Structure 1
Amino acid sequence: MRYGALFWAGFAAFLLDQASKYLVVHVMGVAQRGPIDVLPPLLVFRYGENRGINFGLFQGDNDAARWILIVLALAICLGVFVWLARSARSRWMLISGGLLIGGALANVVDRLLYGYVLDFLNMSCCGIDNPFVFNLADVFIFAGALGLMLFDGKKAP
């Protein structure tokens, strides 16, 4: 199995997410300054603390919920890795798995460091005001999961 594609995709996703959060949250100070218009309304940096999963679902402001989400994310990462390792997968499958794992691990690091996931991306369009914020790790998780479905090599029935 070509683990290189899996490793480098995961490493890149992890690094890009953590670097973007550091830049926007800590260097640019979006939490203190308030929203920063990048390409309004399409792209606005807006600070958020996500103590649940995507879109703020299953919000829990206690340590038990935090650790459950950390263990769940690590179990999913391990499951995806084992699944990819058990049989020969295409390069695109490995890259997709790496993006998913790297994004998930980046959010795990946030939960370990801060107790929540740092979010800062907000996108709205066409008169719809989107109240949700997300981060690059969420994008990588979504893209990785989509890639795993699209590049699995199985034909639809």
Structure 2
Amino acid sequence: MKLSRNRRLAIVVALTVAADWASKVAVRREIPFEAERDVVEGWLSFQHHFNKGIAFSWFADMPSSWRMPLLVLLTLGGMLATVSIMRQSRDRWIHVAGALVLGGALGNLGDRLVDGGVTDFIFVHFFPYIFNVADIAISIGGALLVLRMIFDTARRDEAAPTHA
């Protein structure tokens, strides 16, 4: 049975959300809050943290009555922009990148709506922030989206006729 493009993308979104939520459940169950477990000593560890804000803890100190609606609106706006980009393109990599962004956004949004923030746990010792699977999906998907859009723009510019 051959799956349609939309079904394949829905699977990418669903697997991203599932991996994110499963990893967060495991961390909450196995690692005490603010404890650390070495994965690769000196390089990578899991540290159980809770982030009420977004990337780099932005908005974490904002009162909850403002923070939650703002973060939900920003997330939904980002998701709508991503869907718009995906719908305007035929590029399969833009579709996959968009699905990663959507899956990561949904993973963190679900956490935020249920718990008031997100569980972060991945600490790469040379990087000053702790993140989670959803953040990785958003970062990889976002970077791939930007690169493909730049590449696509450059390719269209090369193909455009000149009237010199």
TM-score range, shorter chain: 0.7 to 0.9
Give 1:149 deviation, angstroms: 1.3
Q: Residue in 1 aligned with 2:51? A: 50
Equivalent position amino acid for 1:123 in 2: V
**2:31–2:37 contact (8 Å) kept in structure 1:** no
1:41 alignment partner, SS class? coil
Q: Distance in 2 between matches of 1:39 and 1:63?
A: 40
Q: How many residues are aligned here?
A: 150
**CA-to-aligned-CA distance 1:80-125 (integer Å, 9 cap, x gap):** 112312x342111111000001001100001111101110111114
Unpaired runs of at least 5, structure 2: 158-164
Q: Distance in 2 between matches of 1:117 and 1:52?
A: 8
Please report the RMSD computed on the Cα atoms of aligned residues, expressed in angstroms.
1.9
TM-score norm. by structure 2 comes to 0.82
**2:111–2:117 contact (8 Å) kept in structure 1:** yes
Q: Residue in 2 aligned with 1:132? A: 129
Q: Distance in 1 between matches of 2:76 and 2:33?
A: 28
Of the three residues 8, 16, 34, the one matched with 2:11 is 8
Unpaired runs of at least 5, structure 1: none
Aligned-pair identity in percent equals 31
Q: Distance in 2 between matches of 1:50 and 1:141?
A: 16
Q: Distance in 2 between matches of 1:81 and 1:5?
A: 15
1:55–1:91 distance in 2 versus 1, CA, 3 Å: same
Give 1:36 deviation, angstroms: 0.8
Q: Distance in 1 between matches of 2:148 and 2:11?
A: 18
Of the three residues 68, 71, 74, the one matched with 1:69 is 71
Of 92-101 and 35-44, more deviation after overlay is shown by: 35-44
Equivalent position amino acid for 2:58 in 1: L
Give 1:30 deviation, angstroms: 3.3
**2:31–2:47 contact (8 Å) kept in structure 1:** no
**CA-to-aligned-CA distance 1:21-70 (integer Å, 9 cap, x gap):** 111122x13317x1111112211111111111111122224132022101
**Greater C-alpha Rg:** 2
